[in-house]
Amino acid sequence: MSPRHCVTIAVFGAVLLAIAPAGAQQTPPPNPLDAVPDKMPFDVPYGAPISLDRAEAAIAATVAEAKKRDWKMNVAVVDTGGNLVAFQRMDGAQMASIAISEHKARTSATFRRETKAFENGIQGGLNYLITLDGVIGSRGGIPLIENGKIIGAIGCSGGTGSQDEVVCKVGAATVK
């Protein structure tokens, strides 16, 4: 072996030795799921289930907003247990969105949060969320809260997630 090769090997070896201990000493970043909150997140109590009249009023407001924007939507309202109370499919709304609107409402009621929270979590790398039964990771499901208690949820589908969310919020605002 030539002296030049010996020098190259020696330099390469020294670089490896210098790098190895530094890499071995680094600790992995903390797992955000290891954090223990002081309070339960999304700890909104359940109240008496929404009535049919109020569910229909929320749907009517949602549909009116969708019509103003020329968006064709499916709108579902569920009670506190995620059971369908009322539903409306606007003329021309896509068929697949019937089940999606119900799924968004059910997820929002049973998990006590907007479905946007699941969308954000999945996009942020919390992939375990997709393994939970009954979850839909798409915005457009919003809890209906009255006097600090969940009385149901509304779910909208037919447009983009952001369109679904916009009209859904109008319906949710009818419940105070």
Query: What is the rounded end-to-end Cα distance, in angstroms, of the chain?
Result: 84
On whether both 152 and 76 belong to a single domain, the answer is yes
Q: Residue 18: inside a domain, yes or no?
A: yes
**From first to last of its 176 residues, what are the pLDDT tens digits of the chain?**
665 655 455 555 555 555 555 556 788 888 777 888 888 888 899 999 999 999 999 999 999 999 999 999 999 999 999 999 999 999 999 999 999 999 999 999 999 999 999 999 999 999 999 999 999 999 999 999 999 999 999 999 999 999 999 999 999 999 97
Q: What is the pLDDT of residues 58-78, one digit of tens each?
A: 999 999 999 999 999 999 999
Q: Residue 37: inside a domain, yes or no?
A: no
Nearest Cα neighbor of 130 from 115, 150, 140 is 115
The count of structural domains within the chain is: 2
Q: What is the pLDDT of residues 161-172, one digit of tens each?
A: 999 999 999 999
Q: Residue 61: inside a domain, yes or no?
A: yes
> How many helices (H) and strands (E) in the chain?
5, 4
**Sign of torsion, CA 20 24 28 29?**
negative
On whether both 102 and 133 belong to a single domain, the answer is yes
- Give residue 118's domain range: 52-172
Q: What is the pLDDT of residue 8?
A: 53
On whether both 92 and 24 belong to a single domain, the answer is no
Nearest Cα neighbor of 116 from 67, 152, 165 is 165
